[in-house]
A and B are shown apart, each in its own frame.
Chain A
């Protein structure tokens, strides 16, 4: 089946070539990081996680959002999703691979990564995250590939795929819950030390991930003529809208608890991110941009007259993804470190090397997604 990814028109190969160039840039930057150490990044003693872990967190959400098409199709027999299910599953595969690569890029000693398996430590949330992410990757890759293979041969998918798919539904929730627990269990990091972190992760994931699926379905329609269906997109739009509402509602509850209780430790990170603290506020414009874009996008998605127009729908989906990417990919992870345990405000600026590695990992994920979707579209359109 994979040979179908090796046939394509000029623009397909141009896109692949562009991704390969980005991967090359990423690899050379990673080589520099491996030879000089993580000091070449903007991270430091106080802000000890940066862009890599933030991208990881955002992408776990993208991976988990496959459940938004798998669940209605397989559990509720929503036929409208029949064409887009495979897109969701392959998006999950690519996003999970990117997650793992970002973790590797962030490690000081990536050559020792197997220590996580050699000395299994169930008291550590990282151990569970490694387990659930690898499991989720296998579940989606195997079931997606097997169902597609059966479709190519014109036979019913083997019955064991059903079991894997059912298992993948709670598993999707688990990957983002465990990822939230990585942060939510640390004493002294008050932005993360909140019980609504896991629910908010799920809400933002289902909003951004579903919006990405809608965008991908438009790209596929334009580039390959494969249409996942207007009805599928409409249903996904509603799901994204309500997930977005849930996300901003949960963010609102964070603000209420912090500012009404007036407990300084609970307020400090939010103050720093949204208003500035002690005259410093590196991320204030970003956070407001995220908030305004996100809420505007959700409103567009909620108004039937607007969301039924392709232009508005594209704007709203892109806006929602952008908003949640800033919120999770910039604010939440880096903001969690400020103020530091010694009550200091430290700034963080990613370096060119760090951004190049990030570009490279995204390019690897996009290349994988491109090839997987090429195969899927070829099978679906009987090329």
Chain B
């Protein structure tokens, strides 16, 4: 008797929950959680935000990789030995590898040895989102090229389309490669692509990206490219800057002072 009563209560409770859920779906005013679709228009609206980054390569200290460590800890990026199954969101590359199409005749000694930060460029014209067959990677209203790890089918088309090598694939379960878990960002599963997200999870909390915060040389400036009075725009106006592979028309949002 008691057992039956318990069963009844369990089922009635489940039924009531299901009913609530259905009502929430059918009658919009009852919605338990509302998503505002106007928050995600595909094209940047004039006057709206376009996040961008300016890296002063001269202030980037030799041998320092504080930003890489901060980013990879914050986002639970696994560390596997070797390059084959490697996952990286931000890393240091020799100048001539980051800018292979720039003039490399008679470079200065300083430039020959310089390493620059490379990461997703959050292009205004991203080839990766165009290639994605499921909209698992998409450009947000604020210019960030984002990933939906639950929708990605792992076809790796975005990796073939990206001309900057900024995307990584989970060739194996990433969790064994994470030494210390960060609770601020979810871990991923094997079989999906991931990359830098410009710390969108920190931006909503009003924080700067983890790499910007971690840099001891203050070499990274982050801000709104659409705001003429932002620090990044002022600095872009005052300095000679370059972008990676500008000839491809991707319009990167990451700029470099060489």
Residues of A within 8 A of B (CB): 36-39, 43-46, 48-49, 103, 106-110, 112-113, 115-116, 118-119, 121, 123-127, 130, 182-183, 185-189, 264-265, 336-337, 340-344, 346
Contacts and interface: CB of A to CB of B under 8 A. Distances in A.
B218 interface: no
A119 B136 CA distance: 9
Q: Is the interface of A mostly helix, strand, loop or mixed?
A: loop
A109 B154 contact: yes
Interface string B145-164: 00000011111110111111
Contacts of A185: 130-131
Given A189-B160, A342-B100, A108 B154 contact: yes
29 contacts: A37-B191, A38-B190, A39-B84, A45-B84, A45-B86, A45-B87, A48-B159, A49-B156, A106-B155, A106-B156, A107-B153, A108-B155, A108-B156, A108-B190, A108-B191, A108-B193, A109-B153, A110-B154, A115-B151, A119-B134, A127-B133, A186-B160, A187-B127, A187-B163, A187-B250, A188-B162, A188-B163, A189-B160, A341-B162
Interface string B197-221: 0000000000000000000000000
Given A39-B85, A109-B192, A124 B133 contact: yes
Contacts of A45: 83-87, 165, 168-169, 171
A108 B96 contact: no
Given A38-B169, A49-B160, A265-B101, 10 more contacts: A39-B85, A48-B156, A48-B169, A108-B169, A108-B191, A109-B154, A109-B191, A127-B133, A187-B248, A341-B164
A9 B133 CA distance: 46
Contacts of A125: 131
Nearest to B93: A342
Contact of B151 (A43, A119, A189): A119
A37 B190 contact: yes
Contacts of A39: 84-85, 171-172, 190
A188 B170 contact: no
Interface string B59-84: 00000000000000000000000011
Contacts of A44: 83-86, 171
A344 B86 CA distance: 15
Contacts of A48: 156, 159-160, 169
B7 interface: no
Contacts of B253: none
- Lowest 6 CB-CB distances: which A-B pairs, in order? A108-B154, A188-B163, A108-B191, A39-B171, A44-B84, A126-B133
A38 B249 contact: no
Contacts of A118: 134
A231 B170 CA distance: 54
A343 B102 CA distance: 12
A185 B125 CA distance: 14
Given A109-B154, A186-B160, A342-B118, A46 B171 contact: no
A55 B207 CA distance: 47
B245 interface: yes
Determine which residue in A43, A106, A124, A264 has the highest number of CB atoms from chain B within 10 A of its CB, and name it: A124
A43 B156 CA distance: 11
B127 A121 contact: no
B164 to A, nearest CB: 5
Contacts of A113: 153
Contacts of A108: 152-156, 169-170, 190-193
A115 B172 CA distance: 22
Nearest to A130: B133
B190 A344 contact: no
A340 B170 contact: no
Determine which residue in A36, A38, A188 has the highest number of CB atoms from chain B within 10 A of its CB, and name it: A188
Nearest to B189: A109
Contacts of A340: 165
B135 A112 contact: no
A36 B151 CA distance: 20
A186 B154 CA distance: 18
A222 to B, nearest CB: 41
A188 B118 CA distance: 16
Contacts of A115: 133-134, 136, 151, 153
A46 B168 CA distance: 9
B153 A37 contact: no
Interface string B99-129: 0110000000000000000100000000100
A282 to B, nearest CB: 15
A342 B156 contact: no
A124 B153 contact: no
B131 A186 contact: yes
B130 A124 contact: yes
Determine which residue in A43, A109, A125, A185 has the highest number of CB atoms from chain B within 10 A of its CB, and name it: A109
A352 to B, nearest CB: 16
A340 B250 CA distance: 18
A118 to B, nearest CB: 8
Contacts of A46: 83, 165
A366 to B, nearest CB: 26
Contacts of A106: 155-156
